[in-house]
Structure 1
Amino acid sequence: MNRSVFADRKVLFAVATFCCLLWGSAYPAIKIGYELFAIAPGDLPGKLVFAGYRFLFAGLVLLVFAAFTGRGAALSLDRRTLGQVTLLGLSQTLLQYVFFYVGLAYTTGVKASIMNATGTFFSVLLAHLIYHNDRLSHHKVWGCLIGFAGVMVVNFTPDLLEFDFTLLGEGFVVIAAFVLSLASIYGKRVSQHLDSVVMTGYQLAIGGAALLVGGLAFGGQLTGFTVGSVLLLGYMVLLSAAAFTLWSLLLRANRVSTVAAFNFLVPIFGAALSAMFLGEAILEWKNAVALVLVCWGIWLVTREPAPAKG
């Protein structure tokens, strides 16, 4: 697909917003999935099996799609490219989601969606170190500081006397965001010589298979298959396939910091949908302040005009 299409500002905004809506919906969907499949908070092997099925099937859907849309030649990978997509799958899918799924089990969907916004700032900082045309500026530095301040606010108790942060909960979500930032930048490089649909399909399938094998090896299982739980799993498969592919196309055609800035929509969608489907509190003043600070920070990051391609 012509990458110039995804460099268009209107297309960038529409596609990035859609991706963030899908990822925001994953927060309540995962928690509902834990209930439907009877996965206890401490059942890490069960969480790995759940995630494994999601990403393995998402990857297979994309590879089948690639085969039926004239990308058959791209499905055959040489040893070097296979090694690259394997590394991408083990980092972006396996490692990231081990931290993410565990963290989400020990915090609320609202807090997790806001904590995950740290990935935006990690991406901006890493892009500065890697790309000569994506350097930090005065506005970007202030944007990162204000955004991190917003992340800190959401972890205080309402009376501001106690900092509510746990390693297994909020800490693991932040680690997952950092891993995703690193993997996304690496994925941008791989996508320069490999079709984005094929790349995403392989990395999701490889990472998903690793999650599934690891979960089963430690005694994990997935029970409680009903029409509702299967439909939920199917939705999560499709959201993963669509969001990761579209995001890869955006990263391929634009600067990392430009695309990453749209992640501010994920905590907004995640918080709103968690409140809607899980009944979690979204109207607490600290959540509102945190979201305002995060959005303000990313507005500063993207304030300076930037070329469409990086």
Structure 2
Amino acid sequence: MPLSASVFTHRKVVFLLASLCCLLWGSSFPAIKNGYALFHIAANDIPTKLVFAGYRFAFAGLVLLVFAALSKKPVFAITLRTLGQMTLLGLTQTSLQYVFFYIGLAYATGIKSSIMNATGTFFSVLLAHFIYQNDRLSFNKVLGCLVGFFGVMVVNFRPGGLSFDFSLKGEGSVVLAALVLSVASIYGKKLSQQVDSVVLTGYQLGIGGLALLALGFACGGTLEGFTWKATALLFYLGALSSVAFSLWTILLKYNRVSMVTVFAFMVPVYGTLLSALFLDEQFLEWKNALALLLVCGGIWLVTKEENPGPQKI
């Protein structure tokens, strides 16, 4: 195994890099909300939201491909078949996922969106059972999924606890985004075995971003108000995407799915704290505290591995 591969399988390295990815993704919740405000994007202006997302991911993909080219990675040494596979990955992992994600974020608070997005980890654990020989479901994993799913649903109860506050446009769209990301990530893990991870991430983000731009413009979207603050925020969102997705792709390439994706439960923790800090949202409610406690319990249960071993398909 190459040295680079052995480094990315070291538990401390996995912990640090996965935590960094989750911190960056967690910061995207309040950043996107603030972006809507700075660019004066109305809640029901979905086409402009797609343009906003398209600029973000097209920029992120361009940054990674330029970096890969400067690093003398095989940016253009790809077959038509591989290009088609990367296009499929980009249209799902970036375009389709973020169509659902941006719509959901417009109709749900940053705190609720960040916690609902945690369902993606459970989807990954369940899908891995049917794909990888040593990622089978166990009692702890099943119990962890149940506890975690209950946790992400608790946050949707109103303070009285008797009525259920859930909308397909808001929370439903965020859950669909999480499901699409889980399926696409497993496909991307397989594709990363034959394509450099940075090159793969650059293409999928770039292609996905261009697709979002085309769809947004075709539906009448437009992005105005490029002040220095708004532009800087857009650049930040692009930068966090390029860093987080490339690192995550590398970690998935060299490690078992459950070992990496379980760290995604840290995203709602970071997202909740950062949303409360930057969006002035209410955090000190019993339902939010209980939901985060249950999500953390789900992490602990799912990660109680008896015999990890190398991953086999």
Give TM-score scaled by structure 2 length.
0.97
Cα contact 2:134–2:308 (8 A) shared by 1: no
Structure 2 unaligned regions, length at least 5: none
Please give the per-residue CA displacement for 1:62-83, whole angstroms capped at 9, x wherever unaligned: 0000000110x34321011001
Partners of 1:277 and 1:51 in 2: how far apart?
20
* 2:92/2:184 contact within 8 Å kept: yes
State the match for 2:37 in structure 1: 35
Bigger drift between 53-62 and 76-85 goes to: 76-85
Q: Which residue of 2 aligns with 1:138?
A: 139
1:122-271 → structure 2 map (5 Å cutoff): 122-271=123-272
Residue 19 of structure 1: CA displacement? Answer: 0.2
Q: Which residue of 1 aligns with 2:84?
A: 83
Deviations 1:202-233 (A, max 9, x none): 00000000000100011100001001001100
Deviation at 1:308, TM superposition (A): 6.4
- Partners of 2:309 and 2:259 in 1: how far apart? 8
Partner residue in 2 for 1:50: 52
Show the counterpart of 2:301.
Answer: 300
Which shifted more, 184-193 or 76-85? 76-85
Question: What amino acid sits opposite 2:277 in the alignment?
Answer: M
Runs of 4+ in 1 over 4 A off after TM superposition: none
Q: Is the 8 A contact 1:75 1:198 kept in 2?
A: no
Q: Does 1:117 align with 2:124?
A: no
- SS for the counterpart of 1:75 is coil
Q: Which amino acid aligns with 1:32?
A: N
Cα drift, residue 152 of structure 1: 1.2
Q: Is 2:51–2:222's contact at 8 Å kept on the other side of the alignment?
A: yes
Q: Which AA in structure 1 matches 2:19?
A: T
Structure 1 portions without partners, runs of 5+? none
Residue 12 of structure 1 corresponds to 14
What's the offset of the Cα at 1:298? 1.3
* Alignment-derived partner of residue 108 in structure 2: 107
Structure 1 window deviating more from structure 2 (299-308 vs 242-251): it is 299-308
Q: Aligned Cα RMSD in Å?
A: 0.9
Partner of 1:62: 64
The answer (yes or no) to whether the contact 2:134–2:309 under 8 Å persists in 1 is no
Contact between 1:21 and 1:266, CA under 8 Å: does it hold in 2? Answer: yes
Identity of aligned residues (%): 66
The number of residues matched between the two structures is 309
CA contact (8 A) 2:65 2:75 kept: no
Structure 2 residue aligned with 1:2 = 4
Tell me the residue number matched to 1:25. Answer: 27
What is the TM-score when the length of structure 1 is the normalising length?
A: 0.98
